[in-house]
Structure 1
Amino acid sequence: MNERGLALQDVDLGEVTEAELGAAGAGVFALEGTGVVGPLPSALGPALYAMNAILMAQQVSFEEAQPSLSEEVALDRARRMIADRAQELDDLLAGGATLQELATEAGMEFGTVEVTAEGGEGIAAYIEFREAALAASPDDFPQLHEMEDGGVFALQLDEVRAPTLRPLAEVREQATALWTEAETGKRLLAEAEALAAAPDLAAAAAERGLEVTAVAPITRDGFVEGLPEGGVQAVFGMAEGETRALAGDGADGASAHVVRLTSVSLPAPEDEAARQMRAALDGQARQGIAQDALELFTRSIEAGAGVTLNQSAINAVHAQMP
């Protein structure tokens, strides 16, 4: 995943049901515990599925679900009503109506709000509104924009204020907290590096009132509680017997960790997950080689025939196809 430049959020499916996985559902739900299964079908072709947790099905009575269902129905009805009036609002703006007139005639809310790249209050908290506001210029005519939740808005830029430093009195508390967290992280990392350099890690940890925790063998897609994000990947970049200090920065504040790679072992030949992983990697390699060969062959024919293709135009056409 890292070699392809993908982050976890790029491939994470979140919580899904067997039906939502389609043809891969039966294979994934056949797992009795966390692990990797595949290759199985997906919208992008054969893929490996890593299951991190199993959530038991829950049955909710209608009486329990009625409040949330009523809210969903009301929101859905509101979205449809707004969508039905979108053309009317567009026509009012096209006819030269001001934002005040639009609010009066269409029942919309009129107001003034300050927007920065970091966010704002009220409607400025919506990313769609911030992007439209930051891209606007004083000469733009108000246009109707949609928001992810079904709402609509129109805006007009009144003023652009140059960035200025906020008074120290306003930011002292925040600046103090940020400096304290950064300095704490720096000192914790220095302490962790000193601990990692100790010849006897267990003894050095005991002197500091710390305990060394042994972790069972894990794979690259494994998880170690307490390690910062990317910690497992960092361990797989270490040499056997190496000790390294890792900095962490999570919801609980700054932290530092010391990890030692005690042994490296290959998965057993009879391990089913490893066999499936090898088969998937072999298939990906074969597919990559075939695609490279086809691309080279195609370029050779194009060069010999004197044909050039506008790939950007082709991609644009493909993107518009259903």
Structure 2
Amino acid sequence: MLSGIRNFFASLAGKVVFVFILLAFASGFWYFGGPTGGGEAAWAVRVGDQTIAAETVRADYERELGRLRAELGGQVDSAQARAMGLPGVVINRLVNQTLLDLATADLGLAASDDLVRDAIRRNPAFQGPDGRFDRAIYGQTLRFAGFSERQFEEMVRQEIARNQLLASLDAAVAVPDALLTPLFRHYHERRTATVVRVADQDVAGAAEPVSDKDLIAFHQANAERFTAPEYRSVTAIILGVDHLAPQMAVSEAEIRAAYEDRADEFFEPERRSLQQIVLADREAVDRALQRIRDGDDFLTVAEEEAGLTPDAVDLGTVTRRSLLPALSEAAFSVGAGEVADPVQSPIGWHLLKVTEVIEASTVPLADVRDEIAADLAADKARDALFDLSNRLQDTLGAGTSLEEAADRLDLPLVRVEAVDRQGQDRSGDPVDALPQEAVTEAFMLTPGDESLLREYGIEGYFIVRVDDVIEPALRPLDEVRDRVRDALMAERLADAAAERAEAIAAAVHSGRDLASVAADQGLEISTSPPFTRTGEGASDLPRDLIEALFAVDTGQAVVVRGTDATFIAEVRTVETVDPALAPERANAFRNELRFAFGNDLVAQYLDALRQRHPVAVNTEVMDRLF
């Protein structure tokens, strides 16, 4: 969180990133000074004598969720966002912003009108193609975001004041040489090691065979590993586009009309595969063209006249619109295998050769009929979804059961005998009939209770009832016999590998050479490249092994368990770096330390502000929001 705070506030005076104000912190103006539109009952978080409205928290959360979905291709639902801690991130950000606003008010920090005006005019988001402030773009952008100019300017004013405060904290951070030198040497120290890997499979013969008695004992001793999780038997009604779309009737006339409306989508314009030579002047391009017309190969001329490789010559397959107008006219004026007349552009003279012509075409209706029908059905399902959800809510509100409501509204009823918290059945397979939000909701209910009608995903609703709770129970041995056998065998192999590694280490501690001991046992020996404490340079070594090697002196051996193997390693060399001999690296490291110390200072300052302005969370409102 600290690094996130620091990144958020990294734009110090003179380089404020106002796009972030507009996009990420658009809620700031609304909550500063008290809740809006909802009265005392609407507050979600109280910071000192200020409150953050529930509407503000929800709006900021939805913005962050939308941003997250955009970054991850839409593959994040509300339940996943909650599991990732997104509500907490949003709340912490709003609280920290409010704390800084209170602090700037206490200190009398404020931005002048000139400073606000200058910051807005320098924001690239509000500039035209000429790089100058454009009032029309400014007004349009604010209207799109839902702000008046006065509101946005007040937000900018507050952000500048916060940055003034943080700039003063940043100025207090210093890293003297007396601190830099030992830390630089510590973090940049590099070591090499002799490494021997004892793989579990290498000691397969040393492991004892597994008997039924062994399986029974291991099954009982490790009951938690073979215990089935809590399951819930549920009944649900799921209203989603994918559930409703198959029920939507789509006529042939509608399909044909949609095909005509989307004609541009199914039309593939003429394309041409091109090769290109670019030369500096007309004389050079005329000489190259004459060689080509005399029969020289285009690629040979490109290499000899312009020093171009075949990859540099190849322009790929293009349409008219993907080229500059002058180049497009030339490229589409000749046939396949022909070279167009030279064309001049700002970068020089172009020779274009057409290697292939792909005629324009239209995808037949028959090829896209199913796609169009599915799209139309989905559109109809979206239109029907909201109305159907209201009808379902009204029906349930009259006291009917889920079964009766589903029957009256002709809705499919989902029954699941057993589902765990991860949305899996007894076999570990996903229960596709239930969205994860419905599963999460089911585990918050007691048997016989049903949820409210809730949203899931981007466009869906569900209501779920818990019919039974199946408590966690140890799975019978016969059901998990193979798993128990594999786990017991893996444990025995790991123990045998560790025992062998410890014996090798004992020999090394008694004075023998690690390489010779390993060679005697037929084990492979390797020497690592130099690596740092963070593992840079030795990505194939386990993290625990690297830490252990930095905790011992040269010539000492360590034993560390890895994945499917036990490692014995011995420190061979230790190399330290004097910051005076690496000034650029030392300066970069000093900046990293300033950044880290600045993080700590900001965190301490925010903690102090929390003591002065206590933070309280309205859990009832939060439960409704998330």
Which interval holds the TM-score relative to the shorter structure? 0.5 to 0.7
The 5 Å alignment of 1:241-280 reads 241=554, 242-249=556-563, 254-267=564-577, 269=579, 270=582, 272=584, 275-280=587-592
| Conservation of the 8 A alpha-carbon contact between 2:529 and 2:538 | no
Pair 1:193–1:112, CA change in 2 (3 A): same
| Conservation of the 8 A alpha-carbon contact between 1:102 and 1:108 | no
> What's 2:505 paired with?
196
| Conservation of the 8 A alpha-carbon contact between 1:196 and 1:245 | yes
Q: By how many angstroms is 1:185 displaced?
A: 1.8
Letter of the 1:115 partner, please give it.
Answer: V
| Conservation of the 8 A alpha-carbon contact between 1:136 and 1:157 | yes
The 5 Å alignment of 1:278-317 reads 278-289=590-601, 292=604, 309-313=613-617
Question: How far, CA to CA, are the matches of 1:290 and 1:245 in structure 2?
Answer: 41
1:130-152 CA-to-partner distances (Å, cap 9, x unmatched) read: 43222211242333344457554
1:82-130 CA-to-partner distances (Å, cap 9, x unmatched) read: 8745555444443434333444426344222302346324148864344
Question: How far, CA to CA, are the matches of 1:263 and 1:202 in structure 2?
Answer: 15
The 5 Å alignment of 1:87-106 reads 87-104=390-407, 105=409
Pair 1:310–1:262, CA change in 2 (3 A): same
| Conservation of the 8 A alpha-carbon contact between 2:392 and 2:405 | yes
Question: How far, CA to CA, are the matches of 2:575 and 2:549 in structure 1?
Answer: 12
Secondary structure of the residue aligned to 2:475 is coil
| Conservation of the 8 A alpha-carbon contact between 2:557 and 2:569 | yes
Secondary structure of the residue aligned to 1:193 is helix
Letter of the 1:310 partner, please give it.
Answer: P
Secondary structure of the residue aligned to 2:469 is coil
The equivalent position to 1:169 in structure 2, one of 472, 475, 478, is 478
Residue 115, structure 1, aligned to residue 403, structure 2: no
Secondary structure of the residue aligned to 2:482 is helix
Residue 211, structure 1, aligned to residue 524, structure 2: yes
Question: How far, CA to CA, are the matches of 1:97 and 1:207 in structure 2?
Answer: 79
Letter of the 2:506 partner, please give it.
Answer: A
Question: How far, CA to CA, are the matches of 2:381 and 2:553 in structure 1?
Answer: 58
Letter of the 1:162 partner, please give it.
Answer: E
1:43-85 CA-to-partner distances (Å, cap 9, x unmatched) read: xx99xxxxxxxxxxxx999xxxxx9xx89x9699699568745
Question: How far, CA to CA, are the matches of 1:285 and 1:151 in structure 2?
Answer: 46
| Conservation of the 8 A alpha-carbon contact between 2:561 and 2:567 | yes
Q: By how many angstroms is 1:202 displaced?
A: 0.7
| Conservation of the 8 A alpha-carbon contact between 2:454 and 2:462 | yes
The percentage of counterpart residues that share the same residue type is: 23
Pair 1:258–1:295, CA change in 2 (3 A): same
Letter of the 1:280 partner, please give it.
Answer: E
Question: How far, CA to CA, are the matches of 1:115 and 1:314 in structure 2?
Answer: 32
Pair 1:260–1:159, CA change in 2 (3 A): same
Secondary structure of the residue aligned to 2:530 is coil
Q: How many residues align?
A: 249
Residue 156, structure 1, aligned to residue 469, structure 2: no
| Conservation of the 8 A alpha-carbon contact between 1:224 and 1:232 | no
1:224-279 CA-to-partner distances (Å, cap 9, x unmatched) read: 35434x33652465223232222123xxxx32222333333334532745542331
Structure with bigger gyration radius: 2
Secondary structure of the residue aligned to 1:209 is coil
* Ranges in structure 2 where 5+ consecutive residues have no aligned partner: 2-67, 72-166, 171-315, 319-367, 622-626
* Ranges in structure 1 where 5+ consecutive residues have no aligned partner: 2-12, 17-44, 47-58, 62-66, 303-308, 318-322
Residue 138, structure 1, aligned to residue 447, structure 2: yes
**Worse overlay, 263-272 or 81-90:** 81-90
Question: How far, CA to CA, are the matches of 1:113 and 1:202 in structure 2?
Answer: 59
1:136-175 CA-to-partner distances (Å, cap 9, x unmatched) read: 1124233334445755432211122333333221111111
Question: How far, CA to CA, are the matches of 1:179 and 1:169 in structure 2?
Answer: 15
The root-mean-square deviation of aligned C-alpha atoms, in Å, is: 4.8
Pair 1:128–1:183, CA change in 2 (3 A): farther
Question: How far, CA to CA, are the matches of 1:233 and 1:315 in structure 2?
Answer: 45
Question: How far, CA to CA, are the matches of 1:293 and 1:209 in structure 2?
Answer: 59
Question: How far, CA to CA, are the matches of 1:315 and 1:138 in structure 2?
Answer: 24
**Higher share in helix:** 2
1:178-230 CA-to-partner distances (Å, cap 9, x unmatched) read: 111122222222222222333211112112222221221223152635434x3
Question: How far, CA to CA, are the matches of 2:589 and 2:400 in structure 1?
Answer: 62
1:14-34 CA-to-partner distances (Å, cap 9, x unmatched) read: xx9xxxxxxxxxxxxxxxxxx
Question: How far, CA to CA, are the matches of 1:255 and 1:82 in structure 2?
Answer: 58
Question: How far, CA to CA, are the matches of 1:216 and 1:98 in structure 2?
Answer: 69
Q: By how many angstroms is 1:297 displaced?
A: 8.8
Letter of the 1:98 partner, please give it.
Answer: S
Pair 1:92–1:315, CA change in 2 (3 A): closer
| Conservation of the 8 A alpha-carbon contact between 1:244 and 1:258 | yes
Pair 1:285–1:114, CA change in 2 (3 A): same
| Conservation of the 8 A alpha-carbon contact between 2:421 and 2:439 | yes
Pair 1:145–1:188, CA change in 2 (3 A): farther
**TM-score, with structure 2 as normaliser:** 0.33
| Conservation of the 8 A alpha-carbon contact between 1:115 and 1:124 | no
Pair 1:90–1:185, CA change in 2 (3 A): farther
**Higher share in strand:** 2
